[in-house]
Amino acid sequence: MDLELKNINVKLGDKNIIQDISLAVAKGEFVGIIGPNGSGKSTLLRTIYRIIQPNSGIILLDGQNLKDVKLSESAKKMGVVGQFNSINFDFTVLDMVMMGRTPHKSLLGSDTPADYAIAMESIRKVGMEKHVNRSFSTLSGGEKQRIILARALTQQPQLLILDEPTNHLDIKYQLQILSIVKSLGIGVLAALHDLSLAAMYCHRLYVLKEGNVITSGVPNEILTPELVRDVYEIECDIQENPATGYLSITYYPTCRHA
């Protein structure tokens, strides 16, 4: 499943938040969106998963205008891990993950053993199998994040939209979650804050500043100290590790400590 955005504009209140953004995610491609706080990453993703209506522009899902696709149909195809996952009811971990099957069911459809098997496999993938009967609300922030990802995996989506999926996670789970997502081999569009991880996992990056894409391309080609200075207003050094090929980024403090 591929995703294409053509000239998307989003205005919230009296402010143009997203300005004429075009981007594409091909089948099997892991695409990152980076940019400073308030640059419009979440707004763009929320527009794609239909919480926000664009003021103009077209979103195509496998060539079909998203406006013409029923919400229930796009929910089958698009899995979402959003930024805030507060819930008002107390569910068990298993209940929470089983919700991922909902788009695939008819109104009164009941859960089948196959649904449970898919949910358990997703819980195992995120390393939470010991906690299936726990109350979701008692989990730590990172554990909740892993369960929300397991719910999205249970949906068996063809496209995943992730808004800072590694928020709250320790480094082991940051690497694990991004590796799991990449191994799915489906299209992924993820807003990421950590530039080293973005460079390590993403096939391509779009760089947002004040609601505009200022550049896009292969991480090792576009991530330069000049770009980081322009976008984040900080100095850094970027080297490619000759052994791994991964980028190593050293940030310089904005003021020296005594």
Ligand X SMILES: Nc1ncnc2c1ncn2[C@@H]1O[C@H](COP(=O)(O)OP(=O)(O)OP(=O)(O)O)[C@@H](O)[C@H]1O
Interface residue list for ligand X (CB under 6 A): 12-13, 15, 17, 35, 37-43
CB of 32 to ligand X, least distance (A): 13
Which of 244, 148, 129 minimizes the C-alpha distance to 196?
244
- Distance set, CA 149 to CA 47, 128, 154, 178 (Å): 20, 11, 9, 10
Nearer to ligand X, 39 or 122 (CB): 39
Amino acid letter, 132: V
CB of 23 to ligand X, least distance (A): 15
Nearer to ligand X, 13 or 242 (CB): 13
C-alpha–C-alpha distance, residues 242 and 175, integer Å: 20
Q: Are 24 and 216 in contact (CB under 8 A)?
A: no
DSSP-derived pairing of the beta strands 159-163 and 78-81: parallel
Nearer to ligand X, 15 or 256 (CB): 15
Both structure tokens of 86: 């507060």
Q: Across the chain, which distance is largest between two alpha carbons, in Å?
A: 65
CB of 12 to ligand X, least distance (A): 4
Nearer to ligand X, 237 or 251 (CB): 251
C-alpha–C-alpha distance, residues 44 and 52, integer Å: 9
Nearer to ligand X, 115 or 163 (CB): 163
C-alpha–C-alpha distance, residues 3 and 61, integer Å: 5
CB of 61 to ligand X, least distance (A): 21
CB of 166 to ligand X, least distance (A): 13
CB of 204 to ligand X, least distance (A): 18
Nearer to ligand X, 111 or 230 (CB): 230
C-alpha–C-alpha distance, residues 161 and 17, integer Å: 19
